[in-house]
Structure 1
Amino acid sequence: MATLNTAANFSDPDKRYFRAFSPGDDFYEALIDAHRELSDAQSALLNARLILLLANHIGDLNVVREALSIAREDV
């Protein structure tokens, strides 16, 4: 059974990074750029679509359930 990887795990095979956190920074920048100039409703829709796309990519329902459980903690 797969378990959710909660450690930093971003990479870009086409880039060479000098700091371990840089790929995560690139992801955050891409996420913010995707939301730029969207209304709150459009931003919520983007998030929902992104979640469904990534959950489908993961494919393992046990991992998706674990991610949902962790995401819901302290909300």
Structure 2
Amino acid sequence: MPLNTEPAIARPDDFYEALIDAHRDLTAEQSAMVNARLILLLANHVGDMEVLREALARARAGV
């Protein structure tokens, strides 16, 4: 299964708002922990190491 980079969230603004809300009133360290936990949860949901490696490579290439 290739990495899907096409828009797939039906209501992206709602997701963005929920993401911002999840970080509200957190310290930078707590926010980083939330991001790390979210990444691990979503990686577990994806479950395909090839897709995860591609996502990691694409994310790093954008830095």
Q: Same fold (TM over 0.5)?
A: yes
Higher Cα radius of gyration: 1
- Cα displacement string for residues 17-43 of structure 1 (whole angstroms, at most 9, x for unaligned residues): xxxxxx111110000000000000000
4+ long deviations beyond 2 Å: none
Structure 1 portions without partners, runs of 5+: 12-22
Q: TM-score, normalised by structure 1?
A: 0.81
Q: What SS does the aligned partner of 1:7 have?
A: coil
How many residue pairs are counted as aligned between the two chains? Answer: 63
- Cα displacement string for residues 32-66 of structure 1 (whole angstroms, at most 9, x for unaligned residues): 00000000000000000000000000000111111
Structure 2 portions without partners, runs of 5+: none
Structure possessing the higher relative contact order (Cα contacts under 8 Å, 6 or more residues apart): 2
1:4 aligned partner, one-letter code: L
Q: Is 1:29–2:17 an aligned residue pair?
A: yes
State the Cα RMSD in Å: 0.7
Residue 62 of structure 1 is aligned with which of 50, 55, 58?
Answer: 50
State how far apart, in whole Å, the 2-side matches of 1:52 and 1:64 are. Answer: 11
1:14 match: none
Higher helix share: 2
Using the aligned pairs only, state the percent identity.
Answer: 63
Match runs of 1:1-75 below 5 Å:
2-11=1-10, 23-75=11-63
